[in-house]
Amino acid sequence: MIPYGKHQVDQEDLDAVIDVLENQFLTQGQQVPAFEAALKDYCGAAHAVAVNSGTSALHIACLALGVAEGDLVWTSPNSFVASANCARYCGAQIDFVDIDPITRNLSVEALTQKLAKAKQANRLPKAIVVVHFAGMSCDMRAISALTAPLGIVLIEDASHGLGGRYLNKAIGSCQFSDACVLSFHPVKSITTAEGGTVLTNSASLAEKLRLFASHGITRAADLMDSESEGPWYYQQIALGYNYRLSDLHAALGISQLRRLDSFIAKRRELVQIYCDKLAGLPLVLPMESSDSAWHLFTVELRQHDRAEIFARLQQAGIGVNVHYIPIHLQPYYRQLGFGPGDFPCAEAYYQNALTLPLYPGLSADNQRYVIDTLVSILG
């Protein structure tokens, strides 16, 4: 089976992990801080806080930015459920902003209209979690121009976006946002097996993020409410979690990050071939982008039944997938009052969406096989 996405691990990755196992601390040693330093350098942000998953990163980003019970958070329905769940973890209500059918990202026009209505109703969101679907950045400049004057917190879910660019800067620079979240799940741009990070340009936010990622415990004298009682002393000053990344995982991340640019270059090459070879078929191809991290290559079928094509490709050994079932149609979110028809563009996109295999290790032969099979089925 050719998978839709796959990590690539080489001997240097293995050596890096083994070196930690044999010679270093397994957790709270030098690897996590070194990984954080490499990530913030790559992305051009002032601070990086590495944690044990992208989902944990979204959770502490919401917490540290003050999302709480009674608040409202908006996100895109065309995403993984974690983009919305993070608000629910904090006791906040969730709502969605429909997507732009071309970019498949949260629509700036829909956002403009929804903000105008929310302002009238005096029910503005505390935060908006934007998602850079498939690795192409949302229009952050336009979005922040809408949200900043209203004091709305802006969080980027860049789980797909590491290695991508926006306006000549790396995704993750936080130029237009309060925080930017990365995921290192094996199908993402680089992997640590499980892992994630919050990037930010705010030192005070980074401090809060570290608290929430590690039990709410601090050893910093300026954060304590009394004198230190000795070198052993620490205080728990908030209710935090154990969301720490281990040094083993961070060592893998450091090694992977060195190859990130080559991974992205390979993804772009493969996308170019798909676009050339599939151009004549009854498919909507993804929008062209030289800045996307190309996490996913997702097409929309124009004339064919998605379930049938999905089954035929799977039978041919091609591990196609679907990104995404709109979050608001999940039973958990339906039970909160959402339902079909609420976000028609995301729903229409979902009906025909199909994700083809795309990852740096996809061989030319295997890609040709995917293309030939699609051509024979759809042509």
Ligand X SMILES: *Cc1c(COP(=O)(O)O)cnc(C)c1O
- Residues lying near ligand X in the complex (CB under 6 A) are found at 53-55, 79-80, 82-83, 131, 157, 159-160, 183, 185, 196
Closest-approach residue to ligand X (CB): 54
Beta bridge partners of 181: 157, 198
Neighbouring residues of 158: CB distance < 8 A, sequence distance ≥ 6: 132, 164, 171, 172, 180, 181, 182
Q: Residues 274, 276, 280, 282: is their CA dihedral positive or negative? A: positive
Looking at beta carbons only, is 13 or 157 nearer to ligand X?
157
Q: How far is the CB of 123 from ligand X (least distance, A)?
A: 25
Looking at beta carbons only, is 245 or 378 nearer to ligand X?
245
Looking at beta carbons only, is 55 or 321 nearer to ligand X?
55
Q: Could you tell me if 117 and 30 are in contact, meaning their C-beta atoms sit under 8 angstroms apart?
A: no
Comparing CA positions, the residue from 130, 133, 144, 132 lying closest to residue 176 is 144
Looking at beta carbons only, is 156 or 309 nearer to ligand X?
156
The neighbour count for residue 319, using CB atoms within 10 Å, is 16
Q: How far is the CB of 56 from ligand X (least distance, A)?
A: 7
Looking at beta carbons only, is 20 or 82 nearer to ligand X?
82
Q: How far is the CB of 119 from ligand X (least distance, A)?
A: 28
Q: How far is the CB of 60 from ligand X (least distance, A)?
A: 12
Looking at beta carbons only, is 139 or 157 nearer to ligand X?
157
Quickly tell me which residue has 């999302």 as its tokens.
67
Neighbouring residues of 76: CB distance < 8 A, sequence distance ≥ 6: 83, 96, 97, 99, 105, 106, 129, 130, 131, 133, 346
Alpha carbon distance 31, 250 (integer Å): 6
Q: How far is the CB of 264 from ligand X (least distance, A)?
A: 16
